[in-house]
Homo-oligomer: A and B are copies of this chain.
Amino acid sequence: MRILHDVEEIDAAKRRVHVRDLKSGKSRWESYGQLLIATGAAPICPDLPGADAVDICGVNTLASGMEIRSRLDKGNIKRAVVVGGGYIGLEMAEALVMNGLEVSLISRPPQVMGTLDEDMGALVSQALRDVGVTLYLDEELTEFETKAGKVTGIVTDKRNLPADIVILGLGVRPNTALAAAAGIPLGEKGSIRVNERMETGTPGIWAAGDCAESFHLISRRPFYVALGTVANRQGRVAGINLGGGYATFPGVTGTAVTKICHVEVARTGLQEQEIAALGLEHVSAVIKSRTRAGYYPGSGDITVKLLAERGSGRLLGGQIVGMEGSAKRIDTVATALQAGFTVEEMINLDLGYAPPFSPVWDPVVTAARAVAKKL
């Protein structure tokens, strides 16, 4: 096996790739038996005036993280604007607040965490405000203000905000120009279409990670998600198959977790708008419970929302916002989704109980009961 960093062209018909050696500047053709494309994804940068100024930072590599760190360490950075209310935006807002900066977050959608339903997203917005982040929701970034090549602020459709540093958390796009140029079929959001063994539509060429398409087990549709867990699992399957073994990647349920200081956030499955887009109908319930027995030290609030198909009661998704011990409870929901359980079946899940860990009825089961009552 060889790892090639600077492939400029894939010639699938002749099973060879054109590689440029960055040291010597020379290029050559290399032949392959099996080729794995693992070109990942790149952060989305807005094509706006001033976007090339210093102190406008995307966060997608270790190097970009270190760069931000070193700028903060200089000490002359007081005001930060985070653009985007997804995982990266939220986690950077948290990190900047913890570093003592004055932080504003701009989101074009009317809520942060667009992968949550509006009611659950509102809890996350509140958590951000509670730690001191100023939110500007439903606002569109229109321009970067700069002075001598350095950013001094941003402009939205509603206001001007001064800024010493701007962090972009606008999501990623799969890096698939190389694959597309070679005629390899693309799928969801421009990612490389693969079968369950991670083989592309072109014989001998495989793809895995943030450049590759996935499959959503609950919507039963092709799906694109750029997450480390998915990339790792796809890579394992591609590697086994490339090496002559046999493995399949059935797909994902869309699980993700994050935190904003003490507030943990988790989601899996389909959210309301995804369910509606599939033409399905759902019943949902939101319950408030505790992370531990109510009388146990350290017990905190937890809110769980579960969504089930109308009529059948088949679990379609779940969202959790709460204090320490909340987020990983989504694993129970994800496993139940993968099992195709109904909310009725979830009522009798034999989950672990002891006062330091849970109320007698785990909040996930309490939510399942609440949904089942509405069916």
Chain A positions near chain B (C-beta within 8 angstroms): 87, 217, 227-230, 232-233, 249-259, 264, 266, 268, 325, 327-332, 334-336, 338-339, 341, 345, 347-354, 356-358, 360-362, 364
Contact = CB atoms under 8 A, between A and B. Distances in A.
A319 B256 CA distance: 25
Given A332-B335, A361-B232, A327 B350 contact: no
A77 to B, nearest CB: 24
Contacts of A331: 329, 331-332, 349, 351-352, 362, 364
Chain B CB within 10 Å, residue with most, of A249, A252, A350, A364: A350
Q: How many copies does the complex hold?
A: 2
A348 B255 contact: no
B256 A352 contact: yes
Contacts of A332: 331-332, 335
A328 B327 contact: no
A49 B350 CA distance: 40
B339 A257 contact: no
A235 to B, nearest CB: 11
Nearest to A335: B335
Contacts of A249: 348
A354 B228 CA distance: 9
A259 B361 contact: no
A360 B229 contact: yes
B360 A338 contact: no
A348 B233 contact: yes
Contacts of A259: 354, 356-357
Contacts of A252: 350
A349 B334 contact: yes
A229 B327 contact: no
* Majority SS at the chain A contact face: mixed
Given A329-B328, A331-B329, A266 B353 contact: no
A357 B227 contact: no
A92 to B, nearest CB: 13
Chain B CB within 10 Å, residue with most, of A255, A256, A266, A335: A335
Chain B CB within 10 Å, residue with most, of A229, A327, A361: A229
A232 B350 contact: no
A350 B258 contact: no
A212 to B, nearest CB: 15
A350 B253 CA distance: 6
Contacts of A352: 255-257, 266, 268, 327-328, 330-331, 334
Given A331-B362, A338-B348, 18 more contacts: A229-B360, A232-B360, A233-B347, A233-B348, A254-B350, A258-B354, A259-B354, A327-B352, A327-B357, A331-B331, A331-B332, A331-B352, A331-B364, A332-B332, A332-B335, A334-B352, A335-B335, A336-B339
Nearest to A256: B352
A249 B325 CA distance: 28
A345 B233 CA distance: 13
Contact of A353 (B217, B227, B335): B227
Contact of A339 (B228, B230, B338, B353): B338
A338 B350 contact: yes
B334 A339 contact: no
A233 B251 CA distance: 33
B350 A268 contact: yes
A215 B166 CA distance: 59
28 contacts: A228-B353, A229-B350, A229-B353, A230-B350, A233-B347, A250-B348, A253-B350, A255-B350, A255-B351, A255-B352, A256-B352, A257-B352, A258-B354, A327-B354, A328-B329, A328-B351, A329-B331, A331-B331, A331-B364, A332-B335, A334-B350, A334-B352, A335-B336, A335-B351, A338-B339, A338-B345, A338-B348, A338-B350
